[in-house]
Amino acid sequence: MVRSLEQAMAARDVLLACTAIGFDTESKPTFTKGEVSTGPHLIQLATSTHAYLFQIGSHTAEPMLAVLQAILEPVAPLKIGFGLSDDVKRVFAKLGIRCGGIMDLSVALREPGQRNDLGAKTAVAKFFGQTLQKSKKISVTNWALPHLNEKQILYAADDAQVALRIYQHVHASGRKLPPVKPIKFPKPVQPAG
């Protein structure tokens, strides 16, 4: 867990030195019809050896946001994950950060003729012959809590690291992945007058 600006800056330096990093977000789930998510509440970034978890509250300090912006907006390092479309839209809506260099493996690893996106569990089974344990109970916990428990922390770290490890495996095998396409964000509203 990244809890201080000093830890955030150290994480930034490590992450920006990489060519690719794992990326994911978690949001407090909504269970009521019409309820709007206030997420993301957690941003997970990972190297092959470390995961950095940034809690995002309604009053996240500006210096911490600047560190996240420095990591997420450039096209390098490549940010690797599964099902990132909603993640990047939520990061933009909540924080105003336009994520760059996003590779969504759920789309990039889709075989010709395959209709459904590939998820992390299926990808782990396909490329490593192993089962990824993802607890549904943990996935629907409250990610907005000020203190996450150990199971939440491990779940979140795994989500970001697994994507990076699959990318590294596919890349090392020589398989070509489609080029990264820029994400289209809404245009800012111009003030009248």
Residue 167 inside a domain? The answer is yes
CATH of the domain at 164: 3.30.420.10
Say if 29 falls within a structural domain.
yes
Residues above pLDDT 90, as percent of the chain: 64
- The SS3 of residue 45 is strand
Backbone angles phi, psi at 39, to 5 degrees: -80, 175
Of 21-35, 154-168, 179-193, the range with the lowest mean pLDDT is 179-193
Q: Is the peptide bond before 29 cis (omega within 30 degrees of 0)?
A: no
For residue 111, being part of any structural domain is answered with yes
Segment 166-186 shows an average pLDDT of 86
Domain that holds residue 120: 5-172
The number of distinct structural domains making up the chain is 1
Q: Is residue 190 part of a domain?
A: no
pTM beyond cutoff 0.85: yes
Name which of 17, 156, 21 is nearest 79 in CA terms. 21
Q: Does residue 191 have a pLDDT over 60? A: no
Residue 21 has pLDDT above 60, yes or no: yes
pLDDT digits (tens, 9 = 90+) for 47-89: 999 999 999 987 788 999 999 999 999 999 999 999 999 999 9
Tokens for 55, please give them: 């809690």
Q: Is residue 37 part of a domain?
A: yes
Q: Specify whether the CB–CB gap between 124 and 111 falls below 8 A.
A: no
Look up residue 61 and give its two tokens: 């300090």
**Separation CA 118–CA 132 (nearest Å):** 14
Cβ distance 27 to 37 under 8 Å? Answer: yes
Q: What is the mean pLDDT of residues 2-31?
A: 95
* pLDDT on residue 77: 98
